[in-house]
């Protein structure tokens, strides 16, 4: 099954998409990676969804990526005696550690670490920023505030502290249990919520022990301040615009998104743009024009993937939402302006032999009649470097490592194909030609580019670039052993 676009689609599974028929329909509509949201559902429910994904993979013969998204530390207020309270602008309000139900003057905030980090003048945001408060004075077990934006505050609403780096581990006890579960299950990507520093990613990587690639979700101002360090130790990035839009002025999010996407592209690491992309399709079969423009903007920026959350997990029109993303992507990528934007934003990187080979592959593909760039890979790194170049021709990833194929389902422009291990370059070229023909990218009359490394089956050895015919007779006649 060949996609007619380069950008990938991530679809979240949930109550609206938990049976074989629906998940297969989502895949056929265009989903390349499925997200398991560990904030909702039991381990048994998530395992059932995972098993269905792998059954569809076997039935269709196409690799499918699975991204497990950890909940992260959730900060919430306590409960109220009446279930809720009305707060007015200018009134005082107190947070403390007293577990007694709250009222219109105070409530429990059961997170001592927040009080330890707060300073007078800091801002507290409740219920996604619908209520805002300024801290007047505080101590190790209280914070006296003034309401700056009033409204209804109710039981267990979320709390954001945008001005403060909280002394919180990115992994709660629940996250650690979920991490072990999804890694044993076979998740290809592990998404970390509320990352603030590079050490958060390093801790998760140590716990994962190579079983999953690590993707850092950027949703805190603190993560923006440490982004280069976080990117360096992550395998991928998610621009999670929901909490960013709560903790920062909403009008700052688009330039932040653009900046982060470009940095990820330059680093050769996949980046997902997420949150509220087609939000209205939770209830409507048609998106708004603004939502379509939002998806299109991420694609024009060169994001590797765009993501659906509640639209596919709990919405009334999950399949239509995926199909809409697929249609938007095809429309954008056939626009001549798309190539102009992508190529103008390309950043040249020439530090290693592999950098030079993938740059040369892209230049050759754009100046000669090449149908595809075929990459033999053990780890997927060279494929990501080729994708960094955003070539005009398709990228075919060839590897005998199933887990690598599944992880590459998230990478821009990559068509993943399993191959048997090879030990001679001639057979690598033959295998690439066969894959290009079988997958519908080329005919016997066409040429492809092949990248590989000698010695074979060793990571980090990409050192060969070959222009090859797709006619095997010509390969055997002209290629050295």
- In angstroms, the Cα distances linking 151 to 121, 122, 126, 154, 249 are 21, 19, 10, 10, 19
Catalytic residue chosen out of the listed positions 275, 377, 382, 462: 275
Peptide bond into 455 cis (omega under 30): yes
Residue among 472, 274, 256, 338 nearest 5 (CA): 338
Type and span of the H or E element at 407:
helix 402-408
Whether 392 is catalytic is no
Q: Could you tell me the end-to-end alpha-carbon distance of the chain, in angstroms, rounded to an integer?
A: 33
Is residue 323 a contact partner of residue 5, using CB atoms and an 8 Å limit?
no
Whether 35 is catalytic is yes
**Rounded-to-10 torsion of CA 151, 153, 158, 164:** 60
Q: Which two tokens stand for residue 411?
A: 């990478």
Residue among 206, 205, 211 nearest 66 (CA): 211
Q: d(Cα 272, Cα 239) in Å, to the nearest integer?
A: 6
DSSP assignment string, 250-317 = GGGHHHHHHHHHHHHHHHT--EEEESSTTGGGGT-SS--HHHHHHHHHHHHHT-SEEEESHHHHT-S-
Strand order in the sheet with 142-149: 106-108, 92-96, 142-149, 131-139, 123-126, 159-160
Residues contacting residue 316 through CB under 8 Å, at least 6 positions apart:
16, 282, 283, 285
Q: d(Cα 385, Cα 92) in Å, to the nearest integer?
A: 55
Q: Could you tell me how many residues make up the chain? A: 481
3-class secondary structure per residue, 19-81: CHHHHHHHHHHCCCEEEEECCCCCHHHHHHHHHHHHHHHHHHCCCCEEEEECCCCCCECCCEC
Catalytic residue chosen out of the listed positions 6, 35, 49, 157: 35
Angle at 402 between CA 400 and CA 407, to 5 degrees: 120
Whether 76 is catalytic is yes
Catalytic residue chosen out of the listed positions 47, 54, 74, 76: 76
Taking only Cα atoms into account, the Rg of the chain, rounded to an integer number of angstroms, comes to 24
Catalytic residue chosen out of the listed positions 217, 241, 265, 466: 217
The catalytic site residues sit at 35, 76, 217, 275
């Amino acid at each position: 099954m060949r996609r007619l676009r380069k950008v990938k689609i991530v679809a979240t599974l949930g109550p609206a998409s938990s049976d074989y028929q629906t998940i297969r329909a989502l895949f056929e509509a265009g989903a390349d990676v499925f997200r398991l949201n560990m904030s909702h559902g039991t381990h048994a429910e998530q395992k059932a969804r995972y098993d269905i994904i792998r059954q569809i993979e076997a039935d269709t013969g196409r690799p499918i990526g699975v991204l497990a998204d950890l909940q992260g530390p959730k900060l919430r207020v306590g409960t109220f005696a009446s279930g809720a309270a009305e707060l007015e602008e200018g009134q005082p309000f107190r947070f403390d550690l007293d577990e007694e139900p709250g009222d219109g003057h105070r409530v429990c905030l059961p997170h001592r670490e927040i009080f330890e980090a707060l300073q007078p003048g800091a801002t507290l945001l409740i219920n996604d920023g619908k209520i805002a408060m300024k801290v007047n004075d505080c101590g190790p077990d209280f914070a006296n505030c003034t309401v700056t934006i009033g409204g209804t505050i109710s039981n267990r609403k979320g709390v954001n502290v945008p001005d403060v780096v909280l002394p919180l581990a990115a992994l709660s006890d629940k996250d650690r249990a979920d991490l072990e579960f999804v890694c044993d299950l076979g998740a290809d990507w592990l998404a970390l919520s509320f990352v603030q520093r590079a050490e958060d990613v390093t801790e998760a990587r140590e716990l994962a022990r190579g079983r999953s690639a690590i993707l850092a979700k950027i949703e805190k101002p603190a993560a923006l301040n440490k982004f280069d360090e976080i990117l360096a130790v992550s395998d991928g990035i998610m621009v999670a615009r929901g909490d960013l839009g709560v903790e920062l002025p909403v009008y700052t999010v688009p330039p932040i998104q653009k900046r982060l996407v470009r940095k990820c592209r330059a680093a050769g690491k996949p980046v997902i743009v997420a949150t509220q992309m087609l939000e209205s399709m939770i209830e409507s079969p048609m998106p708004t024009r603004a939502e379509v423009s939002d998806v299109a903007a991420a694609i024009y920026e060169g994001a590797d993937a765009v993501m659906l959350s509640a639209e596919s997990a709990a919405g009334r029109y999950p399949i239509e939402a995926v199909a809409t993303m697929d249609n938007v992507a095809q429309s954008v990528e056939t626009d001549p302006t798309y190539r102009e934007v992508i190529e103008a934003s390309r950043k040249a990187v020439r530090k290693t032999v592999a950098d030079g080979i993938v740059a040369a592959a892209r230049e050759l593909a754009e100046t000669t009649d090449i149908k595809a760039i075929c990459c033999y890979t053990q780890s997927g790194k060279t494929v990501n470097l080729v994708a960094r170049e955003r070539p005009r021709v398709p990228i075919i990833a060839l590897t005998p490592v199933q887990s690598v194929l599944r992880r590459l389902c998230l990478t821009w422009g990559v068509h993943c194909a399993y191959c048997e291990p090879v030990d001679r370059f001639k057979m690598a070229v033959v295998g690439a030609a066969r894959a290009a023909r079988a997958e519908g990218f080329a005919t016997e009359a066409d040429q492809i580019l092949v990248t590989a490394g000698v010695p074979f089956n060793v990571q980090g050895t990409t050192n060969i670039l070959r222009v090859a015919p797709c006619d095997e007779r010509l390969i055997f006649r002209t290629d050295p052993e």
